[in-house]
């Protein structure tokens, strides 16, 4: 990412889950910059740089989005649809990270062009391992075209 720290936008309303992501990133990818919002409306405001997110230095474009589905204000599926429908945002990889293993949610997310769909493990060690592997993949191994 041109020598700058990778930016991840975490859209997660559960403080415990957000803390697991934060700790694992700090340990496995310390140069990564995690931007956390707690609802779908704040995620859209962040991505569109409005309502307190206007400064690009304080709201940098994310390298990828970790998106929960069950969110207050604007549902995660609506956030996904909005991102993928906008030519200026559609290239940002979106990874759904949710507790829902419902086949209809998985199918709908892929119909909306999600890049990956992951179900949060109940076991804390498995969740930790998933986050480490996921972030290493998207930050270290995956290649994307950059502007």
Residue ranges of the domains in the chain? 7-141
Least confident of 12-26, 104-118, 131-145: 131-145
Average pLDDT over residues 62-77: 94
Tokens of 68: 């929960």
With bands split at pLDDT 50, 70 and 90, how would you rate the model's confidence at 147?
A: very low
Distance CA 50, CA 44 (A): 8
- What would the pLDDT profile of 32-53 be if each residue is shown by its tens digit? 889 999 999 999 999 999 999 9
> 105 is written with which tokens?
């949610």
Radius of gyration of the chain (CA): 14
High-pLDDT (> 70) share of the chain, %: 95
Instruction: Give the separation between CA 130 and CA 118, rounded to whole angstroms.
Output: 9
Residues 6+ apart with CB under 8 A from 31: 5, 6
CA distances from 145 to 2, 8, 60, 97, 121 (A): 11, 16, 17, 24, 31
CA 140/CA 31 separation, integer angstroms: 11
Q: Is the pLDDT higher at 88 or at 25?
A: 88
How many separate helices (H) and strands (E) can be counted in the chain?
5, 5
The topology under which CATH files domain 7-141 is Rossmann fold (3.40.50)
Token pair listed for 116: 């990956």
pLDDT for 1 equals 43
């Amino acid at each position: 990412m041109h020598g700058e720290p990778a930016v991840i936008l975490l859209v997660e309303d559960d403080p415990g889950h957000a803390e697991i992501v934060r700790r694992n990133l700090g340990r496995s990818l310390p140069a990564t910059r995690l931007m956390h919002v707690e609802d779908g409306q704040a995620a859209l405001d962040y991505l569109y740089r409005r309502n307190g997110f206007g400064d690009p230095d304080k709201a940098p474009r994310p390298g990828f989005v970790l998106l929960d589905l069950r969110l207050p204000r604007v549902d995660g599926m609506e956030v996904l649809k909005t991102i993928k429908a906008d030519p200026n945002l559609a290239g940002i990889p979106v990874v759904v990270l949710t507790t829902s293993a419902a086949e209809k949610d998985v199918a709908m997310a892929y119909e909306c062009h999600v890049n990956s769909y992951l179900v949060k493990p109940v076991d804390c060690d498995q969740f930790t391992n998933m986050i480490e592997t996921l972030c290493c993949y998207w930050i270290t191994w995956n290649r994307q075209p950059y502007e």
